[in-house]
Amino acid sequence: KSFLEGFVQYMTETKSRRTNRPFGKKTISNLLACIIAALGVAVEEGVLSFNPAEAVDRKAIQGEKKKREYLTIDEVRRLIDTPCTREDVKKAFLFSCFCGLRISDLENLRWKHIIKNNGKWQVEITQFKTGVQLYLPLNKNARKWLPEQSGATADTPVFPKLNRAYKTALCDWVKEAGIHKHVCFHTSRHTFATLALT
């Protein structure tokens, strides 16, 4: 326990070599979570009798929980009706609103990952963030935002022009649609969850 508390103390007082700024609470919390998980495995395998990390007070490094932004059905409709300077960004964002894929998975999505079987469509892809195989049904609203496949091979990216320079186009498009929320690409994933519940 004292080692782990010392680790947290060290991380809060140390600056990152990359940014030359103190580590954020989320970074420290994530690193500590890795250690806690490793100690948990040691308990499962009988190396330790208990996990000492469970006694560490983590309140100081948890920070505030931020509100998860999402779009309403009406706001999604307004985005659909509003032109975007980058059509690839519009299609990718709306596709994600209707299927929930992360941007990292959209960037890795190839036509071979989109399977049509007995009239049903799905995405079969290994998620970039988790490494878990995903079998995701594609409804007609999601399929509507897929780009044309003409001339594409199985290994061609579905969203070939998508890159990290999309943020300006996304922000301008959201403003043009009259939406006054902080929208990033991950908002589409939260929107999918909300639409599914609705």
**Pair of tokens at residue 117:** 């079987």
Residue 49: the pLDDT is 92
The predicted structure's pLDDT at residue 139: 93
Q: What is the pLDDT of residues 94-148, one digit of tens each?
A: 999 999 999 989 999 999 999 998 889 999 999 887 788 989 999 999 999 999 8
Banded pLDDT at 164 (limits 50, 70, 90): low
Residues 164-190 as b or e (16 or more Cβ within 10 Å = b): eebeebbeebbeebebeeebebebbbb
So what's the pLDDT on residue 98? 97
**Distance between CA atoms of 114 and 122, rounded to whole angstroms?**
6
**pLDDT at residue 191 in the model:** 96
In this structure, what token pair is assigned to residue 135? 């079998």
What confidence tens digit (pLDDT) does each residue in 9-52 have?
A: 888 888 888 778 888 888 888 888 888 889 989 999 999 999 88
Write the CB contacts of 115 (distance below 8 Å, at least 6 apart in sequence).
Answer: 121, 122, 123, 124
| Calpha distance 122→103 (Å, rounded) | 17
